[in-house]
């Protein structure tokens, strides 16, 4: 692993008094007044470390507001002088990096549409070589952990020490309640792979609307994320980009006051014993689940042999439709969500198909193939 992150940095990333590291500000800088008024109100919250505002906006369609450009960097510099907040903006090419550094921007973030592209991330990394600035790398728009880690590695290689990841959710064709699917397993896996890397959640771009900001932020805190990046605008309904998901600084204050912050380790040793016992029970159930899956696959293999002998196709959609309908109904009666059952049973079904395929194509199933 090329990525090196100093352990001490994690403490630095804890914001005021062990609270999460908070980044807030409008999606886009629009006017000098909008930037300064929003920044002053955010500074009054006394909890925000970095004021964010997009200067160059990567928009899906042309002829929408694409940011004010370099002019906005001066506004950010004024915010820093007037409020003492650190300031941050998105960079998407080397020119952006040079311009932002010229204006003393403290934090640069690489957006989701940029972190997908190794050429661009490398170009940004080259422009950052030897510079001491905080850099955050948003997840790529597609749910690919290696690409996210690759982008972080490229930035770390430039010698950037204050580096963090931002989880902003992943694009999907399917219509869901959120604008971007959180796929929490990706940042969780990122934490497992690089434990010292600070991870910030961006509930604004996951949610796409004000409605879910609190529940997503709370979930991030419960998963022990290091901070939050939340879009806040003095007059959200009039915002030139991402109007539906921005909050007034006052509403942000209210959201933050409702966040419950939990400790990753219990302070009372008795609690550790209780947790240990409960975790043993979980381990036993996990073993049961594996035994049951093994048995289910054996039956699938026998079915595969039968289909092979009788020349029947593996996939029988009516049967599969019937299974998924039944398990969703039964699972929901047991308090499991439709979404989770759907994911689990699709994965089990795929595994059954793989086992049957191997039987169909190779004769019998051998253990050594099963790696």
Residues that bind ligand PEP (CB under 6 A): 27, 54, 58, 111-113, 138, 168, 205
**Quick check: 315 and 367 in contact, CB under 8 A?**
no
> Least distance (Å) from ligand PEP to the CB of residue 89?
9
Which is closer to ligand PEP, CB of 140 or CB of 249? 140
Which of Mn ion, ligand PEP, none sits in contact with 168, Cβ below 5 to 8 A by type?
Answer: ligand PEP
> Least distance (Å) from Mn ion to the CB of residue 245?
7
Q: Which alpha helices (H) appear in the chain, and where do they start and end?
A: 8-13, 32-44, 71-83, 94-102, 112-115, 118-128, 145-157, 185-193, 203-207, 213-222, 249-258, 269-310, 317-333, 338-362
In sequence order, what are the beta bridge partners of 246? none
Q: Is residue 158 within a helix (H) or strand (E), and if so which, with residue range?
A: none
| Residue choice 22, 27, 158, 220 for contact with Mn ion (CB under 5 A) | 27
Which of ligand PEP, Mn ion, none sits in contact with 157, Cβ below 5 to 8 A by type?
Answer: none
- Report which residue's Cβ sits closest to Mn ion: 27
- DSSP, residue by residue, 36-49: HHHHHHHHHTS--S
> Least distance (Å) from Mn ion to the CB of residue 192?
28
Under the binding rule (CB under 5 A), the answer on residue 155 touching Mn ion is no
> Least distance (Å) from ligand PEP to the CB of residue 115?
8
Which is closer to Mn ion, CB of 15 or CB of 169? 169
Of 83, 88, 90, 91, the closest CA to residue 104 belongs to 88
Which is closer to Mn ion, CB of 5 or CB of 22? 22
Which of Mn ion, ligand PEP, none sits in contact with 99, Cβ below 5 to 8 A by type?
Answer: none
Under the binding rule (CB under 5 A), the answer on residue 53 touching Mn ion is no
Angle between helices 185-193 and 145-157 (to 10 degrees): 40
> Least distance (Å) from Mn ion to the CB of residue 32?
20
Distances in Å between the alpha carbon of 239 and those of 34, 208, 256, 277, 278? 10, 14, 22, 51, 48
Of 111, 87, 84, the closest CA to residue 29 belongs to 87
| Residue choice 158, 242, 253, 256 for contact with Mn ion (CB under 5 A) | 242
Which is closer to ligand PEP, CB of 241 or CB of 356? 241
User: Residue 72 class from Cβ within 10 Å (0-12 exposed, 13-18 middle, 19+ buried)?
Assistant: buried
- Report which residue's Cβ sits closest to ligand PEP: 111
Which is closer to ligand PEP, CB of 58 or CB of 159? 58
> Least distance (Å) from ligand PEP to the CB of residue 310?
52
Options 138-146, 237-245, 273-281, 301-309: segment touching Mn ion (CB under 5 A): 237-245
> Least distance (Å) from Mn ion to the CB of residue 67?
11
Alpha carbon distance 169, 182 (integer Å): 4
Q: Which residues neighbour 41 within 8 Å (Cβ) at sequence distance 6 or greater?
A: 234, 248, 249, 250
Q: Which residues bind Mn ion (CB under 5 A)?
A: 27, 242
């Amino acid at each position: 692993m090329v990525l090196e992150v100093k352990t001490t940095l994690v403490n630095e990333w804890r914001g005021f008094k062990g609270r999460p590291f908070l980044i807030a500000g409008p999606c886009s800088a629009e006017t000098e007044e909008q930037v300064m008024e929003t920044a002053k109100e955010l500074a009054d919250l006394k909890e925000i470390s970095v004021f964010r505002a997009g200067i160059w906006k990567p928009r899906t369609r042309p002829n929408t507001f694409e940011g004010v450009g370099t002019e906005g960097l001066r506004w950010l510099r004024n915010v820093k002088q007037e409020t003492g907040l650190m300031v941050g903006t998105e960079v998407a090419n080397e020119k952006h990096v040079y311009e932002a550094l010229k204006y003393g921007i403290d934090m640069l973030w690489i957006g989701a549409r940029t972190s997908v592209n190794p050429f661009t991330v490398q170009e940004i990394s080259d422009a950052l070589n030897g510079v001491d600035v905080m850099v955050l790398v948003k997840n790529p728009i597609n749910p690919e952990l290696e690409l996210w880690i690759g982008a972080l590695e490229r930035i770390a290689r430039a010698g950037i020490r204050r580096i963090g990841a931002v989880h902003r959710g992943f694009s999907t064709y399917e219509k869901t309640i959120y604008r971007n699917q959180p796929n929490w397993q990706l940042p969780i896996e990122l934490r497992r792979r690089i434990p010292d890397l600070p991870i910030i959640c961006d509930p604004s771009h996951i949610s796409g609307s004000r409605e879910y900001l609190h529940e997503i932020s709370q979930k991030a805190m419960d998963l022990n994320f290091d901070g939050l990046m939340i879009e806040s605008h003095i007059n959200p309904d009039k915002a030139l980009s991402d109007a539906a998901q921005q909050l007034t600084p006052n509403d942000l204050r209210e959201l933050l006051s409702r966040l419950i912050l939990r400790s990753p380790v219990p302070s009372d040793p008795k609690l550790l014993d209780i947790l240990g016992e409960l975790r043993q029970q979980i381990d036993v159930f996990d073993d049961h689940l594996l035994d049951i899956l093994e048995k289910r696959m054996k039956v699938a293999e026998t079915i595969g042999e039968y289909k092979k002998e009788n020349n029947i196709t593996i996939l029988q959609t009516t049967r599969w439709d019937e299974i998924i309908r039944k398990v969703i109904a039964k699972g929901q009666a047991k308090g499991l969500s439709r979404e989770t059952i759907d994911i689990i049973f699709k994965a089990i079904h795929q595994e059954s198909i793989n086992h049957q395929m191997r039987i169909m194509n190779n004769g019998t199933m051998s253990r050594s193939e099963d790696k």
